[in-house]
Amino acid sequence: MTTQQADVVVRRDDTHHRYEAHLDDRLAGYLDYRERDDELVLIHTETLEGFQGRGVATALARFAMDDVRSRGRRAVVLCPFLRSWLTKNPQYHDIVSHAR
């Protein structure tokens, strides 16, 4: 699965267990995850130096949550950025599980 927000292109990298955001064909950020049963545990979002303020983390968050929904999974959100982002995006609350 791949998506594009403005110039940010995001894709899921199953080999490295992360979502990756690219700008101008360069890695701009990533969101680490782990799979557990029917859940994706979203661990940490990182925007790389020089790419802050360009919507990278938001693109990663939206893509990850849309991916979780499209795969019929649930998200366990450990990442502080993603937790904050979800307070402004309640349309995803139905697929969020609490950490166990």
Instruction: Tell whether the model's pLDDT for residue 89 goes beyond 90.
Output: yes
| pLDDT, tens digit (0-9, with 9 covering 90-100), for 6-38 | 589 999 999 999 999 999 899 999 999 999 999
| pLDDT, tens digit (0-9, with 9 covering 90-100), for 68-78 | 999 999 999 99
pLDDT of residue 4: 44
Conformation bin of residue 76: beta by default, left when phi > 0, alpha when psi is -120 to 50: beta
Rounded Cα distance between 8 and 21, Å, is: 6
Helix locations, the chain, DSSP H: 56-70, 80-87
pLDDT of residue 7: 86
| pLDDT, tens digit (0-9, with 9 covering 90-100), for 33-57 | 999 999 999 999 999 999 999 999 9
Strands 74-77 and 39-47: parallel
pLDDT of residue 80: 96
Q: Which CATH number fits domain 2-92: 1.10.4190.10, 3.20.20.120, 3.40.50.300, 3.40.630.30?
A: 3.40.630.30
Range 74-92 average pLDDT: 97
